[in-house]
Amino acid sequence: MMKQYLAARRELPPRTILLFRLGDFYEMFGEDAKEASAILNVALTKRGEMPMCGVPSHSARGYIEKLVKSGWRVALCDQVGEVQAGKLVRRELTQVLSAGTLDDFGLDDRKPNYLAAICQRKDGIGLAYCELSTGEFRVAELPDLASVLNELARVSPAETIAPSHQEEFFRGVAGVNFLDGYIFEPEPAAEVLLEHFQVHSLDGFGVAEMRAAVGAAGALLHYLTRQMRRSASHLRRLQAYQTSQYLVLDAVTQAHLDLVESRGGRGMTLLGVLDRAVTPMGARMIREWILHPLRDAESINARQQSIARLLEDSLQLGKLREHLGSIRDLERAASRLNGSSGNARDLAALGASLALVPAVADAARSIGSPLIESLSDRLSPLPELVESIARAVVEEPPALLRDGGFVRDGFDPALDELRSASREGKDWIASLQEREITRTGIKSLKVRFTSVFGYFLEITKANLPSVPDDYVRKQTTVNGERFITPELKEIENKILGADERAKAREAEIFQELRALVVGHLAAIQETASSLAALDALGSLAETARQLHYCRPVVDDSGVLEIVEGRHPILDFQSTGERFVPNDTSLDTDGHRFAIITGPNMAGKSTYIRQVALLTLMAQIGSYLPAQSAHVGLVDRIFTRVGASDDLTKGQSTFMVEMNETANILNNATSRSLVILDEIGRGTSTFDGLSIAWSVAEHLHDIIGCRTLFATHYHEITDLERTRSGVLNLNVAVREWNDQVIFLRKILEGRADQSYGIQVARLAGLPDVVLNRAKEILNNLEKAELNAEGEPVIARSRRKKAAIQAGLDQLDLI
């Protein structure tokens, strides 16, 4: 047995824990056992000098999930031969699981789970990623590492692989597993792809000249099928794309704008606002759209027009969403059935969902939108497959195939005969109990069954003297004894034999139905993709309807005009206080650079984030929380907001800020949107002011992009006097009884003061500290200087102390 274990162990990639099947348990040995016992909190024992631990096979799923989430791969070595007394059962590696290759283990049904591969060549960097649970497979070529990091931030893969000889180059990419470089070479990688897709050329996929992308895609397939032993036959299409199709969003911008993740939870993200999808596929599509805003006005307007038609006919919108709401996760059910993890419930869900496709198509076609019409034309109802599943599978099948009972009575004559034999035997056994009670006079006699002993007669100790001579003792228990009879054993053999043959026949029927599904896999995947897009459009329409959004004008101009705009997340979450709307007016041919001043907590950061979010929403094709809007397309949104140290890289708040600012200055174009919040805070006042001023000049003079520049350096507002593209804005406040009231309204002009002491009062600083701060501020504002030319910030107290000292001296005289 240990020879089998060691042979399997040698075949595994690094950082893999082997679960070795022994009867009803998965056992782990050696270092695997030490690692697993600590992660899983199970007992570590020994067999001789060999450390070992184990988990029950029936509950292994949860343990596997935990190991994978801890960063390990998990290999399963299962018993594949028949168990025969005195003989070693045959075992084989059946699958290897990792974070990026899960297809049904604890996945979030509203979020994709990608496996990515990257490799560098002289002509670029190849990126490939797939979603094993849905069949999505995409590739791109990128010019530099920064572009790769941006795209990985969007894709957010659960696992990434790269060639080991490029480890130094990809050191900045988090969580990469480095593998032998030969599988990333374009020639062997191309052979893997050609063999997988059964084609003679990659020209049909548009990737023949993308050598780096081919290397990444081929390596990904090699890793998936040969190292991880996973089926990839449902990866039917290799889709090449250009990142220039989409608005660029780096990881910093995603985090600053709370697009799909937030410390406040899903409800405090843009995804939480826009995701009203009624299917898992639609929810994943909405997420995809948020992370990949479009840069083509025609495609954006097609989505807008679809939303407009849905809003015009709210009855049809309701019908469409009602039909979609009954559809299960077609993508993942079909992918599981294509692989080894599908079950009868997947069949039932797939059949029931496909049965609803005609109703969805009818509702969609009645809406009168070209985009929705084209999506409905791609829906395949597959009536023959639906009928086959409906005739064969019960409405609510059991979770496990091995339990049987998922095939309908009357579907298969051979199965019906076996079930009849089993039922007759069980009926006979049920009547046996009554007959034996009458014959023996033992009223407590029971006929019972266990998987170990089969059927037996159970007699309590008090009744043992009444046991007939033809009873054969099988086992003694605490409370009595168990017996069998030759007749009972004969019927048991018939029942169990019929049960086993019935389950075997059901397994055959399942494989036949599974083959039917796999034969229609391409049509099912296209149908699922179209349903997802219909659901995503319906979700955006429902959001616009419920929250009273407007349709923006989106074009190729340099305009950014928003009337009565609202922050989508805060507006959605506000329960009591009404969110104060604000206008925005920027134009690359006019006022393109807005400097926003005002006190802390007044709403500057909220406002500039709001503008960025509304721009992004417009390029998704969504309606906006505003009275009206005109958005000229942007190629990229840059953000520098918030303050945080990057302790993992040993960088201070100021260094993080400068890195992010450098990224903006080096990569922004005239078509970008830049939002900057409080540049220059982490250093001395004059250093910070100098940097902020210079950055502002560069963005206005050299890059010329639309910019919102929030600052506490009021001196920078003087730029409005020398540059025609600069516009000063401020956040309105009111003073009352030495208190400050934030009105949250953006007005033209510069702020006259910062109200820092009033804000400090709101934060709860002690009065003694606030009073002293006023005294110091008064001296600073009067520019009172000492002999060294420094502000005399403690003038009043020192003066009093000097006078008192002089009086004391006079007393002495």
pLDDT tens profile 253-279: 999 999 999 888 888 999 999 999 999
**Residue 631 · residue 617 · CB < 8 Å:** no
Instruction: Single out the residue in 227, 245, 263 at which a domain terminates.
Output: 245
In a domain, 287, yes or no: yes
Nearest to 215 by CA among 136, 81, 345, 125: 125
In a domain, 801, yes or no: yes
Instruction: Single out the residue in 226, 245, 264 at which a domain terminates.
Output: 245
- What are the CA-CA distances from residue 599 to residues 103, 320, 627, 731 (Å)? 51, 48, 27, 8
Mean pLDDT, residues 540-558: 97
pLDDT score of 736 = 73
Looking at residue 222, which CATH number applies to its domain?
A: 3.30.420.110
Instruction: Answer with the residue of higher pLDDT: 769 or 723.
Output: 723
Nearest to 696 by CA among 708, 684, 712, 686: 708
pLDDT tens profile 151-195: 999 999 999 999 999 988 888 788 888 999 999 999 999 999 999
* Cα–Cα dist 468/463, whole Å: 11
User: Do 711 and 579 reside in the same domain of the chain?
Assistant: yes
In a domain, 270, yes or no: no
pLDDT score of 649 = 52
* Cα–Cα dist 767/758, whole Å: 11
pLDDT score of 811 more than 70: no
Residue 716 phi, psi dihedral angles, 5° rounding = -65, -20
pLDDT score of 285 = 97
pLDDT score of 58 = 84
pLDDT score of 2 = 82
pLDDT tens profile 657-712: 888 899 999 999 999 999 999 888 777 778 888 999 999 999 999 999 999 999 98
**Residue 393 · residue 385 · CB < 8 Å:** no
In a domain, 306, yes or no: yes
Number of domains making up the chain: 6
CA 540 to chain centre: 19
User: Do 625 and 749 reside in the same domain of the chain?
Assistant: yes
**Residue 207 · residue 238 · CB < 8 Å:** yes
The string of DSSP letters for 480-546 reads EEEEE-HHHHHHHHHHHHHHHHHHHHHHHHHHHHHHHHHHTHHHHHHHHHHHHHHHHHHHHHHHHHH
pLDDT score of 577 more than 80: no
pLDDT score of 648 = 41
Looking at residue 650, which CATH number applies to its domain?
A: 3.40.50.300
**Structure token pair of residue 378:** 């791609």
pLDDT score of 757 = 73
pLDDT score of 647 = 38
Nearest to 393 by CA among 511, 504, 513, 502: 513
pLDDT score of 664 = 94
pLDDT score of 646 more than 60: no
In a domain, 405, yes or no: no
User: Do 659 and 542 reside in the same domain of the chain?
Assistant: no
**Residue 48 · residue 30 · CB < 8 Å:** no
Reduced to 3 states (helix: H, G, I; strand: E, B; else coil), residue 383 is: helix
Instruction: Answer with the residue of higher pLDDT: 84 or 87.
Output: 87
User: Do 613 and 727 reside in the same domain of the chain?
Assistant: yes
pLDDT score of 786 more than 70: no
In a domain, 269, yes or no: no
User: Do 331 and 469 reside in the same domain of the chain?
Assistant: no
- Dihedral sign, CA of 453, 458, 462, 464? negative
User: Do 695 and 568 reside in the same domain of the chain?
Assistant: yes
User: Do 220 and 311 reside in the same domain of the chain?
Assistant: no
In a domain, 787, yes or no: yes
Looking at residue 30, which CATH number applies to its domain?
A: 3.40.1170.10
**Residue 514 · residue 337 · CB < 8 Å:** yes
**Residue 139 · residue 155 · CB < 8 Å:** no
Helix axes 314-325, 297-312, angle to 10 degrees: 100
Q: Which of 56-60, 396-400, 740-744 has the lowest mean pLDDT?
A: 740-744
**Structure token pair of residue 418:** 């076996």
The string of DSSP letters for 714-742 reads GGGGGHHHH-TTEEEEEEEEEEETTEEEE
pLDDT score of 280 more than 80: yes
Q: What is the rounded (10 degree) CA torsion for 417, 419, 424, 425?
A: 120
Residue 465 phi, psi dihedral angles, 5° rounding = -60, -20
pLDDT score of 32 = 94
**Residue 415 · residue 404 · CB < 8 Å:** no
Residue 423 domain boundaries = 413-513
* Cα–Cα dist 235/81, whole Å: 30
**Structure token pair of residue 358:** 């005609």
User: Do 609 and 658 reside in the same domain of the chain?
Assistant: yes
Reduced to 3 states (helix: H, G, I; strand: E, B; else coil), residue 554 is: strand
**Residue 692 · residue 713 · CB < 8 Å:** yes
**Structure token pair of residue 141:** 């070529």
User: Do 635 and 722 reside in the same domain of the chain?
Assistant: yes
Instruction: Answer with the residue of higher pLDDT: 148 or 601.
Output: 148
**Residue 596 · residue 729 · CB < 8 Å:** yes
Instruction: Single out the residue in 36, 69, 97 at which a domain terminates.
Output: 97
Q: Tell me the pLDDT of the chain averaged across its residues.
A: 88
**Structure token pair of residue 252:** 């910093």
pLDDT score of 787 = 46
Q: Which residues contact 285 (CB under 8 A, 6 or more apart)?
A: 277, 532, 533, 535, 536
Mean pLDDT, residues 471-482: 90
Q: Which of 11-15, 334-338, 409-413 has the lowest mean pLDDT?
A: 11-15
**Structure token pair of residue 320:** 């469409």
Query: Which percentage of the chain shows pLDDT scores above 90?
Result: 61
Fill in the amino acid letter for 430.
A
In a domain, 102, yes or no: no
pLDDT tens profile 306-332: 999 999 999 999 999 999 999 999 999
Question: Tokens 């496990």 sit at which residue?
Answer: 400
How would residue 85 be classed by pLDDT, with cut points 50, 70 and 90?
A: low
How would residue 17 be classed by pLDDT, with cut points 50, 70 and 90?
A: very high
pLDDT score of 803 more than 60: no
**Structure token pair of residue 237:** 């299409």
**Residue 671 · residue 704 · CB < 8 Å:** no
User: Do 157 and 192 reside in the same domain of the chain?
Assistant: yes
* Cα–Cα dist 302/401, whole Å: 45
Looking at residue 500, which CATH number applies to its domain?
A: 1.10.1420.10
User: Do 86 and 128 reside in the same domain of the chain?
Assistant: no
Can you give the pTM of this predicted structure?
Answer: 0.85
Mean pLDDT, residues 96-123: 88
pLDDT score of 628 = 98
User: Do 533 and 640 reside in the same domain of the chain?
Assistant: no
